[in-house]
Amino acid sequence: MTPEEIEKAVEAGMPQAVEDLKRLVAIPSVAFPGHPEVPVHEAAALTEELLRAAGLPHVERVPVEGSFPAVYGEAPAPPGAPTVLLYAHYDVQPAGDLALWRTAPFEPTQIDGALYGRGAADDKSGLITHVAALRAFQGRFPVGVKVIIEGQEEYAGERLEAFVEANPELVRADAIVVADSGNPRVGDPALTTSLRGMAAFTIEVRSLGESLHSGSFGGAAPDALAALMRMLTALHDDNGDLRVPGLNRGTFSGEGPSEEEFRATAGVLDGVSLVGSGSLADRLWASYAITVTGLDVPSVSGAINAVQAVARARVTIRIPPSGDTKTALDDVTGFLKQVAPWGVHVSFDDFTTGTGFRAEAGGPATAAIGRAMERAFGRAPREVGQGGSIPLVATLARRFPEAEILLYGAEDNDAAIHAPNERVVLDELRRVITAEALFLAEYGQPSA
């Protein structure tokens, strides 16, 4: 197919792509403990149906130990052509506070050229990107195709990592496309070349056998909550830079957002300063960050006059690709023990880890996707990093060092992923689908 024929095929298929995306978004496929499992399996079944309809001759749901099934599909490579692995995930984050949504999260709603709903961007748009790009070829694919769509990335993606380690030949490919990323802004194409890893843990502080009346004991009895607050605030200096030894600031060679862009995207209030030092690209994509993501303490509405005996917090560390996850965990937990006041008892549990990723120098697949994105968007893509992590990417990079890994997608910084009012801009989705189809066609040519 010529580039013009591909563009026409994608354009003609967009109404069906949007309807398919709406069907997916309508399924509350939240794969977190405590949420219904039936919708997750419904999303897996629909994913299987869509991949079959895209022309793949072999599609199946494959079991993943301790997790929901992945959906796998493949088509053999034409003689001499490379093979491409396409990845996305069909599970989504919980909706969160429904009062903050302007539309119902699982009732896909189209407004002013965008589709709103949980998962519309992250990552059901990635799934539809693969489906629609493949559909443009009507079963006559220019490359070998393998597709794996994960069912529990948002909660426990490391379980698919174990599956890949046990079944490497199933996903072996010359190029790997991860459609779980996006552009800084709509219409501003980008390839993600750096992902921070992550580690998370729960810290518990105990100071008393049981909580005590603050009038009778306050002023002398050690308060576990006060101790924990002192420990957590010690992680950063007054400027917001980390005080933990060993967690040094890194540098990112590509272009990051301006402060004005970042403040607008993040919704930073007037008069509130940003934190940390160095460029925003350095801070967001190449340096460590520590965030307290939860506290187990009495709520304000349920507060009583008591000195607390125990307090707990959930702490997340974002780790640059050059960093080591275990070392960072040891550095942070060791520092928290060191700064613990009054001899309080400190313990840690519920550890979670994920490794970062940095793309190697580009090869033929990188060159092909660059040209494809330039045609689809009207400008060449730039390299960006992502502060979040995608658990599977580092495993694929380690297991298949010869494969080129390409990260892109229809998300953008205003897509509100993991937040209320998530949305994908449908024209952006069209451009990404077009770019992927153009890439598959060019990469399948001997000169690519």
Give the active site residue among 20, 74, 91, 436.
91
What stretches of 142-254 show up as alpha helix (H) in DSSP?
153-156, 158-166, 168-171, 214-217, 224-233
Taking the alpha carbons of 43, 48, 53, 56 in that order, is the dihedral positive or negative? Answer: positive
Q: Which of 410, 384, 358, 370 is nearest to 256 (CA)?
A: 384
Q: Decide if 223 is catalytic.
A: no
DSSP 242: B
Q: How far apart are CA 396 and CA 387, in angstroms?
A: 19
167: Cβ contacts below 8 Å, ≥ 6 apart: none
- Residue owning tokens 């940095």: 358
| 260 flagged as catalytic | no
User: 224-233 and 325-339 are packed helices; what angle lies between their axes, rounded to 10 degrees?
Assistant: 130
Residue tagged active-site, from 48, 150, 153, 223: 153
183-195 as b/e: b if 16+ CB within 10 A: bbebebbbbbbbb
Distance (Å, whole) CA 340 – CA 175: 48
In three-state secondary structure terms, 235 is coil
What b-and-e string marks burial along 124-160, b requiring 16 or more CB atoms within 10 Å of the CB? bbbbbbbbbbbbbbeeebbbbbbbbbbbbbbbbbbbb
Overall size of the chain counted in residues: 448
Burial class (CB in 10 A: 0-12, 13-18, 19+), 224: buried
Q: Got the DSSP string for 49-112?
A: HHHHHTT-SEEEEE--TTSPPEEEEEEPPPTT--EEEEEEE--B-----GGG-SS-TTS-EEET
Segment (H or E) for 203: strand 197-206
| CB-based burial label for 253 (10 Å; 0-12, 13-18, 19+) | exposed
Crossing angle of helices 391-399 and 158-166, rounded to 10°: 20
Residue reference for tokens 């009038």? 215
Helical H segments across 309-354, by residue range: 325-339
What amino acid positions are annotated as catalytic residues?
A: 91, 153
